[in-house]
């Protein structure tokens, strides 16, 4: 009944936790090979499906954890930020980002 | 006697040999063990299903309310449910007590301590020898091969090794570890259960018993999940499942999965044969499988020596130049994302952080403009820097984490990552052009692939999934036009 914990953090703790979480984010992204533009775009030439595999396994792991934690009442979902839906901006924004992705090798 | 030339490692079998071995059955489990196993399984099923429903304090529970209500309704009341839990638990304790008393006689009769001279061994072997003495049961004590097995198994799972697993005895190292856990946890579960049921000793003792009871059950449960998965789902272990019903496994299964045990059985059979032939010193020709085995090259000493030690394992995992298998990295990323939601109440992101860096620069260069821009003014609060935010500091961590990972694997270098047919200049231009589109799209959609697709996807935001699908659609569609630049 007490997660998420950020309201209890002091500013220093809050920012330190942010750096720590970012560290693991960057670490696993690099481990997956996402630091290479070539590896990223290989996805769209059907050569290497790492992007799809990494992204969806991460989503599934996090989703299952969140669902279970909120089911048993540990994580209060009303305090968790769920990105709001704006259909047209997100559809068009996605298309633009996807085009930028394949052009720039983001 | 006992000088049969048996192989150290399993050797490849011919089709005929494998065929013959798959037909022969060897006895693996005594009927008493099988009965005890299924009795134990029933008890765990009952105790876990009622136990999960019994934990229902406002501060801590492990099952959702609908489950607690359902089980309570099934028993009529919580008191009845508790009574059932206690009665089954006491039955379990009594049956195990009987088993231990009778089993102990067997342990005393079989002298397994011979040949272990503890003081002559190096430290970690001392530990191995000591635990064998402690448990007095060769079948479950871990040996050097088991440690090699655990290490190789782990490396194989994360795709860092393709070496064969060291040969295993009647139980493999994973099963032995589980047995260890169970041996330690079960007395704790029983003792604390009795303390809780009858309020023994003192109120403090009961309070501690509750904590210990949960912890021990949780530990066993974590192993139990793997145990049940392996037994009931994993196709390679099908025989292990049926061996708990019939007691038998095929010789081929024993050879492949429990080689050292197979060797023992084989040696015993040879000894019996010689006895039946009238005890003439020399035995006949060795069976074909053993002949083939003696010709196989033994495992080279260097190879097995190199496999030892933690630094070597660390190197294999972190310092190898290849990337991690996608599902392993993905699981790590997923756990990081989960931790972020639990700690920060939001997901990971990237473009939002960059926005804040930009706003900070603008607020410094042209404060008036930044404060009156419809979009940027959201980030400029009086008296607070736009840089004091989760995403801004998270991005610092990302740079450090990415660098550490790349540096460990020796992937750090300055290079222009481009297709073979284009110049550096073209690549730079494309990067800028793509970057403009990416940046504009990310701000239009209120998030990028990290902040919206990944984090929003995990909390099932509809917009996030729309965004993700359109990203992939545009990238797959655009790939055809860009092929000249990448391939």
Q: What values do phi and psi take at B366, rounded to 5? A: -135, 75
pLDDT at position B175: 79
Handedness of CA B25, B31, B33, B35 (dihedral sign): positive
Cβ <8 Å between A21 and B442:
no
Diameter of chain A measured on Cα atoms:
47
Cβ <8 Å between B345 and A30:
no
pLDDT at position B277: 75
Contact A61, B331 (CB under 8 A): yes
A80 close to B (CB below 8 A): yes
DSSP β-bridge partners for residue B26: B249
B352 close to A (CB below 8 A): no
B388 close to A (CB below 8 A): yes
Across the interface, of B401, B438, B462, the residue whose CB is closest to A85 is: B462
On the 0-12 / 13-18 / 19+ scale of CB atoms within 10 A, B78 is: middle
Q: What token pair was written down for B14?
A: 């011919």
Nearest CA to B140 out of B109, B101, B112, B102 is that of B112
Contacts of B352 in chain A (CB under 8 A): none
pLDDT band at B384 (very low <50, low <70, confident <90, very high): confident
Instruction: Give pLDDT tens digits for B233-290.
Output: 777 777 777 777 777 777 777 777 777 777 777 777 777 777 777 655 444 444 444 4
Which residues lie below 8 Å from residue B52, measured CB to CB, with a gap of 6+? B62, B63, B67, B71
Mean pLDDT of chain B: 79
Complex confidence, ipTM: 0.96
Specify the higher pLDDT residue, B120 or B333. B333
Which helix (H) or strand (E) segment is B69 a member of?
helix B65-75
Q: What token pair was written down for A29?
A: 């992204």
Instruction: Give pLDDT tens digits for B146-184.
Output: 777 888 888 877 777 777 777 777 777 777 888 788 888
A79 close to B (CB below 8 A): yes
Q: What token pair was written down for B368?
A: 């008036």
pLDDT band at B128 (very low <50, low <70, confident <90, very high): low
Can you tell me the distance from the alpha carbon of A102 to that of A82, in angstroms, rounded to the nearest whole number? 28
The distance of Cα B278 from the centroid of its chain, to the nearest Å, equals: 52
Of A1-5, B294-298, B465-469, least confident by mean pLDDT is B294-298
Residues 77 through 136 of chain B touching chain A, CB cutoff 8 Å: none
Size of interface A-B (CB pairs under 8 A): 360
Instruction: Give A33's DSSP letter.
Output: T
Contacts of A38 in chain B (CB under 8 A): 417, 486
Cβ <8 Å between A38 and B417:
yes
Nearest CA to B95 out of B42, B150, B168, B18 is that of B42
Distances (CA, A) of B427 to A44, B31, B351, B484: 18, 71, 22, 12
Contact B363, B387 (CB under 8 A): no
3-state secondary structure of B77: coil
Answer yes or no: is pLDDT of B405 > 90. yes
- First-to-last alpha carbon distance for chain B, in angstroms, is 67
pLDDT at position B3: 45
């Amino acid at each position: 009944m007490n997660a998420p914990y950020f309201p209890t953090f002091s500013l220093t703790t809050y920012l330190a936790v942010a750096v720590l979480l970012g560290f693991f984010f960057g670490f696993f992204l690099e481990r997956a090979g996402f630091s290479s533009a070539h590896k990223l775009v290989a996805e769209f030439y059907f050569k290497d499906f790492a992007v799809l595999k990494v992204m969806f396994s991460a989503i599934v792991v996090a989703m299952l954890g969140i669902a279970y934690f909120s089911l048993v009442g540990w994580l209060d979902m009303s305090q968790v930020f769920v990105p709001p839906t704006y259909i047209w901006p997100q559809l068009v924004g996605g298309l633009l980002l996807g085009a930028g992705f394949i052009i720039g090798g983001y | 006697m006992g000088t049969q030339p048996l192989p150290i490692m399993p050797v490849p079998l011919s089709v005929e040999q494998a065929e013959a071995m798959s037909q022969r059955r060897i006895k693996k489990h005594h009927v008493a063990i099988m009965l005890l196993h299924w009795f134990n399984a029933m008890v765990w099923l009952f105790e876990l299903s009622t136990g999960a429903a019994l934990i229902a304090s406002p501060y801590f529970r492990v099952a959702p309310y609908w489950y607690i209500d359902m089980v309570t309704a099934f028993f009529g009341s919580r008191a009845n449910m508790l009574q059932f839990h206690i009665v089954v638990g006491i039955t379990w304790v009594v049956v195990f007590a009987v088993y231990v008393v009778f089993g102990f006689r067997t342990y005393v009769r079989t002298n397994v301590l011979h040949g272990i001279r503890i003081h002559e061994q190096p430290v970690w072997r001392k530990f191995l020898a000591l635990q064998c003495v402690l448990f007095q049961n060769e079948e479950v004590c871990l040996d050097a091969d088991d440690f090699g097995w655990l290490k190789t198994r782990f490396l194989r799972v994360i795709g860092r090794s393709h070496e064969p697993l060291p040969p295993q005895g009647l139980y493999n190292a994973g099963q032995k570890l589980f047995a260890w856990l169970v041996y330690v946890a079960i007395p704790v579960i029983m003792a604390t259960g009795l303390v809780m049921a009858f309020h023994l000793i003192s109120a403090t003792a009961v309070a501690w018993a509750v904590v210990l009871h949960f912890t021990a059950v949780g530990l066993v449960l974590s192993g139990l999940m793997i145990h049940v998965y392996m037994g009931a789902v994993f196709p390679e272990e099908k025989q292990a499942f049926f061996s708990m019903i019939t007691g038998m496994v095929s010789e081929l299964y024993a050879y492949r999965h429990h080689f050292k045990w197979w060797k023992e059985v084989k040696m015993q059979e040879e000894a019996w044969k010689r006895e039946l032939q009238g005890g003439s010193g020399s035995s006949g020709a060795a069976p074909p499988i053993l002949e083939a085995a003696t010709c196989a090259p033994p495992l080279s000493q260097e190879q097995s020596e190199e496999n030892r030690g933690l630094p070597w394992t660390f190197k294999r995992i972190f310092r190898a130049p290849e990337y991690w298998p996608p599902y392993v990295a993905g699981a790590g990323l997923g756990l990081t994302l989960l931790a972020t939601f639990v700690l920060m109440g939001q997901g990971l992101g990237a473009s939002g952080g960059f926005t804040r860096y930009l706003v900070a620069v603008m607020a410094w260069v042209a404060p008036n403009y930044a404060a009156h821009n419809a979009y940027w003014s959201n980030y400029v609060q009086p008296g607070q820097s736009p840089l004091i935010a989760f995403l801004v500091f998270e991005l610092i961590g990302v740079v450090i984490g990415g660098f550490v990972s790349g540096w460990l694997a020796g992937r750090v270098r300055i290079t222009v990552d481009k297709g073979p047919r284009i110049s550096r200049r073209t690549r730079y231009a494309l990067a800028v052009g793509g970057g403009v589109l990416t940046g504009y799209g990310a701000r239009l959609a209120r998030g990028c692939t990290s902040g919206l697709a990944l984090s929003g996807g995990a909390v099932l935001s509809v917009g996030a999934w729309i965004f993700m699908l359109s990203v992939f659609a545009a990238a797959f569609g655009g790939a055809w036009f860009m092929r000249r630049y990448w391939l």
